[in-house]
Amino acid sequence: MNKIIHIVHTGISGVPFIPSAPISRCLAIYNMLSKAEYNILAINNRPFDYTNSLIQRKGEFHNISYQFTTISPYKSNHFLLRRLDNFYGKINEIFVLLKLGFQNKIDFMFFYPTGSFFELVKYKLISVLFGFPLICHYVEYRSSFETRNKLSLRVKDFLFDNYFMLFVDGVIPISEFLINRIQKKKKYLPILKIPPVVNFNLFIKNDNKLNENYFLYIGGAGYEKALDMILDAYNLIDHKNYYLYLVLHGGNMNKIITKIKTQPKAEFIKIFSDLEYQELIQYNIHAKALLIPLSNSTQDMARFPQKIAEYLASKNPIITTEFGEIKYYFKDGLNALVANDDNVTSFSKKMEFVITYPDKSKDIGIAGYELGLKYFDSNSYFASLDKFIKRFLKTE
């Protein structure tokens, strides 16, 4: 096929700049497609916080074109101006999409959920008007989030989780749990499962000052249960100068810092935030083991953390628990260290294994890396994603 295929990203804003887990997933997929006959345009209908003043309302970054439909790419410090820009961005987005549609510059649309079911309906109407397929990323079961307890959020989450599949032409889910949810409502909807993916070629070890032995956890500060489990497990081990590095984002950081200060091994715990992606890569590569505890909850059964792909790309062992998607990919002692329960003692024993058997742990990390090349490297998915997209297009 010689024709350039125009793909438009909608939904979550910040593409292709913010190095968050959702956007990292989008970028891994879009960057892969941009190397072929696909032209990627990311539409951002919300301003965001970012310090790089070189960003314009429209441009190109890392082979991905982008356009902000807002007045400015950056959030204003004033509440009313922020609300006005959010409103303007969503209205202007409609006109931008209509213009692209009339110019025949939308062949395919990806939608990454924002939490608004009605936003999905808007994109569906536009896709029907111009006759292009609408594909939805599906990476979490929003109704399971305990923190989303406001009535308005509960209603939005219920509508999305139960009915979004009726408004799209295909889905790219992240887990078997979510696939089962989709098929209960729309059995024959085209599905391409893609677990967390990252470009493994980016993970190149550089010499730096990270010369301490440390366990690494990367995640949102709002995942307090996971963080508490890691801290409690770390307190149980005979650490022998093994540090605990926590790279956190979001949430109440002051609360986390206060909690760390009360830990019995507080002097061995270090907190980092706002790291550049290349810097984050080096923290992964130089760690002795990477931590990702999952619980036997609906939320963890449905999701599959993006950092697992980044952990595997580091060639270091991951320490996790047997819930959710873990059982479909990992075997304890072979390509990961998998605790058979989500309790502190079982998790701490896996951390002790790394300290006691460093050579075996390194072998497990290499085996995890080899597994990752097959299932978690974005470069492994081009053929299947290319085939998935082209099944919807009129020209083959």
On the question of pLDDT at 1 being above 60, the answer is no
How far from the centroid of its chain's Cα atoms is residue 378's Cα?
A: 13
- Kindly write down the DSSP assignment for every residue of 26-49, as one continuous string: HHHHHHHHHTTTEEEEEEE-S-B-
Query: pLDDT tens-digit profile of 239-262?
Result: 778 999 999 987 778 888 888 888
- Per DSSP, 383 falls in state H
Return the minimum-mean-pLDDT range out of 221-225, 268-272, 329-333.
Answer: 221-225
Q: Give per-residue burial for 206-243: e unless 16+ CB within 10 Å, then b.
A: eeeeeeebbbbbbbebbbeebbebbbebbeebebeebb
The β-bridge relationship of strands 170-173 and 269-272 is unpaired
Does domain 201-375 bear CATH number 3.40.50.2000? yes
The answer on pLDDT for 51 being more than 60 is no
Q: Do domains 5-194+381-390 and 201-375 have the same CATH topology?
A: yes
Angle made by CA atoms 198, 202, 205, in degrees to the nearest 5: 125
In this model, does residue 299 exceed pLDDT 90?
no
As a whole number, mean pLDDT of residues 174-182 equals 95
The domain locations on the chain are: 5-194+381-390, 201-375
> For 201-207, what is the mean pLDDT?
86
Average pLDDT, the chain: 90
Highest mean pLDDT among 15-29, 227-241, 274-288, 347-361: 347-361
5-194+381-390: CATH homologous superfamily? Glycogen Phosphorylase B; (3.40.50.2000)
Check whether 187 has a pLDDT greater than 80: yes
At CB < 8 A and 24+ separation, what contacts does 90-96 make? 90/45, 90/46, 90/119, 92/45, 93/10, 93/43, 93/45, 93/69, 94/122, 94/126, 96/43, 96/67, 96/69
The pLDDT assigned to 294 comes to: 92
Tokens at 95, concatenated: 């006109």
Q: How many CB atoms lie within 10 A of CB 269?
A: 20
Nearest to 137 by CA among 277, 43, 30: 30
Amino acid in position 51: T
pLDDT at 49: 67
Closest CA to 203 of 326, 286, 306, 317: 286
Confidence of residue 394 (pLDDT cuts 50, 70, 90): low
What are the CA-CA distances from residue 41 to residues 20, 109, 118 (Å)? 19, 10, 22
Q: Confidence band (pLDDT; 50, 70, 90) for 369? A: very high
Percent of the chain with pLDDT over 70: 96
* Alpha-carbon distance values, 253 to 23, 271, 289 (Å): 22, 10, 24
- Locate all alpha helices (DSSP H) within the chain, ordered by sequence: 21-34, 79-102, 117-130, 151-163, 176-185, 224-236, 253-261, 277-286, 298-302, 307-313, 326-329, 344-356, 358-375, 382-390
Q: What is the pLDDT of residues 334-368, one digit of tens each?
A: 999 999 887 899 999 999 999 999 999 999 999 99
Q: Looking at the predicted structure, is the pLDDT value of residue 100 above 90?
A: yes
Given strand 337-339, what is the order of strands in its sheet? 269-272, 243-249, 214-220, 289-292, 318-321, 337-339
Whole-number pLDDT of residue 52:
55
Q: Answer yes or no: are the C-beta atoms of 64 and 30 closer than 8 Å.
A: yes
3-state secondary structure of 326: helix
Residues near 212 by Cβ (< 8 Å), separated by ≥ 6? 241, 243
Contact indicator for 109, 134 with CB cutoff of 8 Å:
yes
Token pair, residue 11, equals 């939904």
Rounded Cα distance, 318 and 242, in Å: 16
Within a 13 Å sphere around the CA of 349, how many CA atoms are in the beta-carbon half? 11
